[in-house]
Amino acid sequence: MPASAVTDALRDLWGPGLVFVALCGWLVRRALRAARNESILEEQRLREAVPPTFTSASPSPSGLRVPPQLFRADVRGASQEHLEIVARLQEERQTVGGGKPVEVLWVRSNQTHVAWAETRPGNREVICVAQIDAGTILARWQFG
């Protein structure tokens, strides 16, 4: 008879247990939805409280004279001086490297640094950074 007692207990608990699991699932779903809504509201409140103080500090690419070495590059956010330096570096690399093609993908700069990405032979992408002061390169780094 102990086997029948176990089956009777399981049968008695099956209905309420299933209802309990369904209720827990529903509550968890509601809690996740409430958390997501609260996150969205917090983000909206933050955007309203702190107006954007930044302006487009980078010159528009339409006013730039893009050197021929960089004609395919995305030069948004790069200064004219830094574009000329990157073009000069590309020329030097091509003459030293035996004319191996190097394509510049994009160029970005701020007051003291210029960064650009290039695709080198072997489909290798490298990010280069140069520190610049008054048109001279103070330091250079390469990643990749």
Question: Which strand (E) or helix (H) includes residue 128?
Answer: strand 124-133
Tokens for 110?
Answer: 């701020």
SS3 of 25-67: the string is HHHHHHHHHHHHHHHHHHHHHHHHHCCCCCCCCCCCHHHCCCC
Whole-number percent of the chain with pLDDT over 70: 88
Nearest to 119 by CA among 98, 104, 130: 104
Q: Report the candidate in 98, 94, 90 with the shortest Cα–Cα distance to residue 73.
A: 90
Domain range annotation of the chain: 1-53, 61-143
pLDDT in tens, 49-108: 877 665 544 444 456 777 777 778 888 888 888 888 888 888 888 787 676 777 888 999
Q: Is the pLDDT at 31 greater than 90, yes or no?
A: yes
Mean pLDDT, residues 104-114: 89
**Given strand 113-120, what is the order of strands in its sheet?**
103-109, 113-120, 124-133, 136-143
Looking at the domain that runs over 61-143, which CATH code has it been given? 3.10.450
Question: What is the DSSP secondary structure assignment for residue 112, as one 8-state letter?
Answer: S
